[in-house]
């Protein structure tokens, strides 16, 4: 069998949640959390997914790790369609894929010691290990000296230390692919940088593929070789780090980059309209239409498709259609 | 002008006292945006709460004064204090946009402080509420809607309208953009800036996010471990930072499109339960020396208006 270049391949992944209407409405309506996501993540690559709250980025993370099935579409991890697997086979998959969650205060069991937390995935997967393995992992995530931490409970650790334990746990079974869902958003600025650098080291040292899910395009750019920008369940722009940051095309990406707070950048201008309401589903046309400063008539009527602009750059916008 | 003198606030905890604010001195000029930057546990929110004297029960104001228009508000009797709290000094609390009452419409909630403080009738108060909602950039029909119908950014605007409805002289904004999207964050900061400009509103902007503060603040104070460690004009802090912690913060911000490796500050934030004497950054600082162990936080003026609390610049 030919070995796969990609650790992740998704094709048209959709996740719809039905909205309960009134008893008089016959028509079923849906919240389209994800609406046709296609992307691939190469082995050994850090891939960044940027999107605001409600864009569907966490939903995609959960689908990739096998936690919630998509409504439609295929998800392949290392060439295997994970939602056609039986329970036993899914367990095999779990050895390859691990997830780091946003909130280190909720993702660690308060009754477990650090040692038990890190051992759990090893025991669950019947992998043999020695105590040295735990020490080595703690050392790698800079919980030094490891002996001081091994018998501590989560409540004895700071947020940053907890998140390091979460990384050590994810690394314990030597996965091939890690999904990091906003791993630094709860951490203080002074420890955030070290944490991101640990993720980069993991990628370098273990050839580990990482999906970096974030709302912060600066972090996406710092981490990812490639970036996808998600807006209301759709990828609006996808490409190499360079193309997305230096040559953004979609009005939403442009606004995201314009609004990055930078040291001493005063009086910047951001070209985007305010959100009118939290959740008006757009029935037809482009999702971004209500906020787009460049909106045209066609945007109200038709949905743009993600199309190739250049070798490393795709965009979903009528401005770039002949 | 607001002057904070020798302020010490402690929390009683199981294992002793949490030294949340440990001898702070600050001067805040009228009409400026004063940025107060620090990470969680640095004491910045406690400082905001001390202003309004709404500290939790286990807090003790050990010593110090907060002088506002010539009066030490920490000494005021409670029946005098209510003329300041929410009236002359308003506060936007962290996460306030999620504590709007879900069953009362927006304009009634915004009008409430007027009914309470100025004894206005509901109709009079509603009229002003509608004006203020317009002032913070909300469309007219928002007044009749309910919180669940609004986006996060709109709710935050509502909270701001509520805070300024009594025409306060000082606005304390505690993390006003946390949990908002970057695009919306930018909008809210612009609104705060425009309120300051238009109404000469003294604003104390409390945030963990130095880049966001750096965009609007006139002056910036950096807090660490219950202490002010550096204070100056915004450009002095950004271009000529002196304290190792400030320098570390500035170098931990990724710049999009740049491949430069960002560096944080090693170690973990200090616990404020019975901290040892000397500099609070001692364990995390690459320049730490024996002098730092006994450092008494005497300030050093490194240039006009720019103060640093660090032994590197002489004692």
| Spatial CA neighbour of B168 closest among B205, B96, B117, B218 | B117
Q: Do B210 and A196 touch (CB under 8 A)?
A: no
Option in B183, B209, B254 nearest A219 (CB): B254
- Tens digits of residue pLDDT in A112-138: 999 999 999 999 888 999 889 999 999
Of A195, A222, A255, the CB nearest to B254: A222
Decide the pairing of beta strands A29-42 and A6-19. Answer: antiparallel
Is the per-residue pLDDT at A200 higher than 50?
A: yes
- Give tens-digit pLDDT for A147-181: 989 999 999 888 888 999 999 999 999 999 999 99
**Mean of pLDDT over chain B:** 93
Return the residue matching tokens 């669950």.
A124
pLDDT at A90: 79
Which of B150, B179, B212 is facing A278, going by the closest CB pair? B150
Each as own residue / partner, the long-range contacts of residues B288-291 (CB below 8 Å, 24 or more positions apart, any chain) are B291/B315
Shortest distance, CA A138 to any CA of chain B (angstroms): 14
pLDDT band at B129 (very low <50, low <70, confident <90, very high): very high
Instruction: Compute the distance between CA of residue A184 and CA of residue A16 in angstroms, rounded to an integer.
Output: 28
Task: Count how many pairs of residues, chain A against chain B, have C-beta atoms within 8 Å.
Answer: 138
Partner-chain residue, chosen from A190, A261, A277, that has the shortest CB–CB distance to B149: A277
A6-96+175-320 is classed in which CATH architecture? 3-Layer(aba) Sandwich (3.40)
Q: Would you call A150 an interface residue with chain B, using a CB distance cutoff of 8 Å?
A: no
Q: What is the mean pLDDT of residues A73-83?
A: 91
* Inter-chain CB proximity A222 and B152 less than 8 Å: no
**What is the rounded distance in angstroms from the CA atom of residue B156 to the CA atom of residue B179?**
10
- Interface mutation vs chain B, best among A54, A274, A290, most B CBs within 10 Å: A274
- Distance between B268 CA and the closest CA of chain A, angstroms: 7
Is residue B51 predicted with pLDDT exceeding 50? Answer: yes
The pLDDT value recorded for residue A123 is: 92
pLDDT digits (tens, 9 = 90+) for B191-243: 999 999 999 999 999 999 999 999 999 999 999 999 999 999 999 999 999 99
Query: Interface pTM (ipTM) of the complex?
Result: 0.86
CA-CA-CA-CA dihedral for B115, B121, B127, B132, to nearest 10: -10
pLDDT at A274 over 80: no
Q: pLDDT tens digits, residue range B93-128?
A: 988 888 899 999 999 999 999 998 889 999 999 999
Query: pLDDT tens, B269-294?
Result: 888 888 889 999 999 999 999 999 99
Tokens found for residue A21: 């209407």
Decide if A259 and B186 are in contact by the 8 Å CB cutoff. Answer: yes
Segment B80-89 shows an average pLDDT of: 93
| Model confidence at B173: pLDDT above 50 | yes
Of B151, B256, B265, which is closest to A245 when you measure between CB atoms? B256
* B35: pLDDT strictly greater than 90: yes
Q: Do B262 and A196 lie within an 8 Å CB cutoff?
A: yes
Best of B41, B138, B177, B181 to mutate (most A CBs within 10 Å, chain A)? B181
pLDDT reported for residue A282: 66
Across B75-92, average pLDDT = 94
pLDDT at A1 over 50: no
How much is the pLDDT for B140? 82
Residue A22 has pLDDT above 80, yes or no: no
Residues in chain A within 8 Å Cβ distance of B181: 52-53, 215
Mean pLDDT over the full length of chain A: 89
Q: What structural domains does chain B harbor?
A: 2-88+168-313 (3.40.50.300)
Distance CA B218, CA B208 (A): 17
pLDDT for position A278: 43
CA distance B305 to chain A (A): 18
| Residues B187, A216: C-beta atoms closer than 8 Å | no
- % of residues, chain B, pLDDT over 90: 80
A55: chain B residues, CB-CB within 8 Å: none
Asked whether the beta carbons of residue B151 and residue A277 sit closer than 8 angstroms, the reply is: yes
- Report how far residue A155's alpha carbon sits from residue B259's, in angstroms, rounded to the nearest whole number: 36
pTM for this entry: 0.90
pLDDT for A283 beyond 80: no
Strand (E) positions, chain A?
Answer: 6-19, 29-42, 46-51, 72-77, 80-81, 97-100, 177-181, 209-214, 226-231, 234-240, 307-310, 313-315
């Amino acid at each position: 069998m030919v070995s796969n270049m990609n650790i992740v391949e998704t094709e048209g992944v959709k996740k719809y949640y039905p909205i309960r209407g009134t008893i008089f409405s016959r028509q079923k309506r849906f919240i389209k959390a994800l609406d046709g996501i296609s992307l691939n993540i190469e082995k050994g690559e850090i891939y960044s997914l940027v999107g605001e709250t409600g864009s569907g980025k966490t939903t995609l993370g959960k689908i990739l790790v096998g936690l919630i099935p998509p409504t439609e579409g295929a998800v392949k991890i290392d060439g295997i369609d994970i939602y056609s697997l039986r329970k036993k086979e899914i367990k095999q998959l779990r050895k390859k894929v691990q997830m780091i969650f946003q909130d280190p205060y909720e993702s660690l069991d308060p009754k477990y010691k650090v040692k038990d937390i890190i051992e759990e995935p090893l025991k669950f997967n019947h992998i043999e290990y020695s105590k040295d393995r735990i020490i080595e992992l703690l050392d790698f995530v800079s919980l030094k000296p490891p002996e001081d931490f091994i018998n501590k409970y989560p409540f004895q650790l700071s947020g940053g230390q907890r998140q390091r334990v979460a990384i050590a746990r994810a690394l314990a079974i030597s996965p091939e692919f890690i999904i990091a869902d906003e791993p630094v958003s709860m951490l203080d600025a002074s420890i955030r940088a070290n944490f991101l650098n640990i993720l980069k080291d993991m990628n370098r040292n273990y050839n580990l593929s990482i999906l970096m899910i974030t709302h912060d395009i600066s972090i996406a750019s710092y981490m990812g070789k490639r970036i996808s920008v998600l807006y209301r369940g759709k990828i609006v722009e996808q490409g190499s780090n360079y193309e997305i940051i230096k040559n953004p095309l979609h009005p939403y990406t442009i606004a995201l980059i314009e609004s990055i707070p930078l040291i001493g950048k005063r009086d910047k201008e951001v070209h985007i309209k305010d959100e009118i309401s939290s959740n008006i589903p757009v029935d037809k046309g482009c999702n971004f239409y209500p906020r787009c400063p460049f909106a045209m008539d066609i945007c109200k009527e038709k949905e743009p498709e993600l199309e190739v602009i250049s070798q490393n750059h795709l965009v979903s916008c009528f401005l770039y259609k002949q | 002008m607001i002057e904070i003198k020798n302020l010490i606030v402690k929390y009683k905890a199981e294992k002793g006292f949490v030294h949340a604010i440990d001898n702070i001195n600050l001067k805040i000029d009228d009409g400026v945006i004063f940025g107060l930057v620090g990470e969680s546990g640095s004491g910045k929110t406690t400082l905001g709460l001390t202003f309004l004297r709404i500290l939790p029960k286990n807090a003790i104001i050990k010593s110090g004064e907060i002088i506002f228009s010539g009066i030490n508000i920490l000494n005021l009797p409670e029946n005098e204090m209510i003329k300041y709290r929410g009236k002359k000094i308003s506060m936007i609390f962290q996460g306030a946009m999620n504590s709007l009452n879900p069953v009362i419409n927006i304009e009634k909630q915004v009008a409430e402080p007027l009914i309470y403080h100025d004894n206005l009738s509901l109709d009079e108060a509603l009229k002003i509420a509608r004006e203020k909602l317009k002032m913070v950039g909300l469309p007219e029909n928002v007044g009749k809607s309910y919180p669940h119908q609004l986006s996060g950014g709109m709710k935050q605007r509502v909270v701001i309208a509520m805070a300024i409805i009594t025409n306060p002289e000082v606005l304390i904004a505690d993390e006003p953009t946390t949990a908002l999207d970057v695009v919306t964050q930018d909008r809210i900061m612009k609104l705060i800036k425009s309120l300051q400009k238009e109404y000469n509103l003294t604003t104390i902007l409390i945030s963990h996010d130095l880049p966001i503060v750096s965009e609007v603040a006139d002056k910036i104070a950096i807090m660490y471990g219950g202490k002010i460690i550096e204070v100056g004009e915004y450009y002095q802090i950004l271009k000529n930072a002196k304290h190792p912690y400030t320098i570390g913060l500035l170098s931990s911000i990724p710049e999009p499109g740049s491949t430069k490796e960002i560096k944080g500050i090693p170690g973990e934030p200090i616990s404020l339960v019975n901290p040892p004497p000397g500099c609070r950054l001692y364990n995390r600082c690459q320049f730490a020396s024996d002098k730092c162990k006994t450092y008494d936080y005497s300030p050093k003026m490194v240039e006009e208006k720019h103060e640093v609390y660090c032994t590197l610049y002489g004692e």
